[in-house]
Amino acid sequence: MELIMQEGKFVNRDEVARTDTPGSTATWHPVPHIDVIEAVTEVVRTHDWSIEGEKFGLASEGQKMFGVMEISRSSSPEWHRCIGIRNSHDKRSTERRIPTTHSAT
């Protein structure tokens, strides 16, 4: 499982949780990065899957978060299911969850 970033740094879940979230405005309500991660984690658990591995990255001084979770739900020993996650506090890109797979070899 890989997470490739052009800028920023790789972090763990605790470091993501310590990232500041800007205050809301009348028309914009940023979602804390850790809330996005926890929401995805809850969906994984609701389906009785488990997270086998996870990687996170922060860029733009913590304004952008990227992540990937490898989950246990797979019908093949040759590949694993992964969920890609992104969130932004800079008003350029919004929260996204992207299902994907990767080779187990």
The whole-angstrom separation of Cα 77 and Cα 58 is 31
pLDDT given at position 4: 67
Is 77 contained in some domain? yes
Is 75 contained in some domain? yes
Counting Cα atoms < 13 Å in the Cβ hemisphere of 28 gives 13
The whole-angstrom separation of Cα 24 and Cα 38 is 20
pLDDT tens, residue by residue, 42-101: 999 998 888 999 999 999 999 999 999 998 876 777 777 889 999 999 876 554 545 554
In the chain, the number of structural domains is: 1
pLDDT given at position 105: 45
Token pair for residue 48? 């009785």
Q: Within 10 Å of residue 43's Cβ, how many Cβ atoms?
A: 13
The whole-angstrom separation of Cα 67 and Cα 97 is 9
Identify any residues that bridge with 3 across adjacent strands, giving them in sequence order. none
Nearest by Cα to 82 from 64, 62, 45, 55: 55
Is 24 contained in some domain? no
pTM of the model: 0.80
Phi-psi region of 48 (alpha: psi -120 to 50; beta: other; left: phi over 0): left
Is 25 contained in some domain? no
The domain in which residue 95 lies consists of: 9-19+30-103
